[in-house]
């Protein structure tokens, strides 16, 4: 009984399935994707909160009476919902546009990111590193929001560079550089 409960999808998965027109197979891939492309538990946990819409945005904090204003930390003109924070705000849109150019500079593949791509990842991507970068970029936007710093491509590149160097160090110490090269390639992506 406990094992079958553990393997079930969350209640919010039906909303994802409906909102993004996902099949059952695609829905399972959505929840597995963070476990495939990253190793950091806190990044996986963050994506879990995104997928289940349980991040404490200003709108949620306002609704429970914790804060008096629900406006977004950057634009200060719209309520801070998860969708506004991660995609609909002008600052987020500019960030994702820069992200697309950044990814093009690495892969020579242009990505025009939709709300679906940003929230759940790109299930058909031939570049697993793209989905990892999407996770890190979302986490970076959240960190910027918490720190009250406008997001920038330079800040994201710094975060990615730190991830690259940390994973390279760990894989070198563990003698698993082949795993590192399979994920990252041979040179730092920033």
| pLDDT tens per residue across span 145-187 | 999 999 999 999 999 999 999 999 999 999 999 989 888 887 6
Note whether residue 120 is domain-resident: yes
Nearest to 163 by CA among 142, 141, 144, 137: 137
CA 176 to each of CA 56, 164, 180: distance values in angstroms, whole numbers, following the listed order: 37, 14, 7
pLDDT of residue 6: 56
Note whether residue 4 is domain-resident: no
Note whether residue 162 is domain-resident: no
45 vs 1, more confident: 45
pLDDT of residue 115: 96
Q: Which two tokens stand for residue 61?
A: 């904090």
Q: What is d(CA 129, CA 22) in angstroms, rounded to the nearest whole number?
A: 22
pLDDT of residue 189: 79
Read off the pTM: 0.91
Note whether residue 174 is domain-resident: no
pLDDT of residue 169: 93
Label residue 12 by pLDDT band (50, 70, 90). Answer: confident
Give how many domains the chain has, as a whole number: 1
Long-range CB contact pairs, 73-79, < 8 A, 24+: 73/145, 73/148, 74/144, 74/145, 74/150, 74/151
- Structural domain boundaries, residue 69: 13-151
pLDDT of residue 1: 45
Note whether residue 7 is domain-resident: no
Note whether residue 190 is domain-resident: no
| pLDDT tens per residue across span 102-151 | 999 988 888 999 999 999 999 988 888 999 999 999 999 999 999 999 99
| pLDDT tens per residue across span 64-78 | 999 898 988 888 899
Note whether residue 33 is domain-resident: yes
Note whether residue 177 is domain-resident: no
């Amino acid at each position: 009984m406990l094992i079958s409960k553990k393997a079930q999808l969350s209640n919010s998965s039906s909303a994802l399935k409906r909102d993004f027109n996902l099949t059952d197979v695609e829905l399972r891939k959505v929840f597995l994707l963070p476990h495939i492309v990253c190793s950091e538990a806190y990044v996986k946990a963050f994506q879990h909160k995104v997928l289940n819409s349980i991040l404490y945005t200003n709108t949620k904090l306002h609704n429970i009476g914790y804060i008096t204003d629900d406006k977004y930390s950057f634009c200060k003109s719209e309520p801070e919902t998860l969708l506004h924070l991660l995609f609909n705000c002008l600052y987020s849109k500019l960030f994702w546009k820069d992200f697309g150019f950044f990814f093009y500079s690495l892969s020579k593949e242009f990505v025009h990111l939709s709300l679906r791509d940003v929230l759940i990842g790109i299930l058909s991507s031939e570049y697993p590193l793209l989905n990892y970068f999407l996770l890190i970029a979302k986490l970076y936007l959240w960190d910027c929001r918490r720190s009250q710093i406008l997001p920038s491509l330079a800040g994201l590149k710094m975060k990615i560079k730190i991830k690259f160097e940390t994973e390279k160090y760990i894989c070198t110490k563990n003698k698993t550089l082949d795993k590192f090269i399979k994920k990252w390639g041979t040179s730092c992506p920033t």
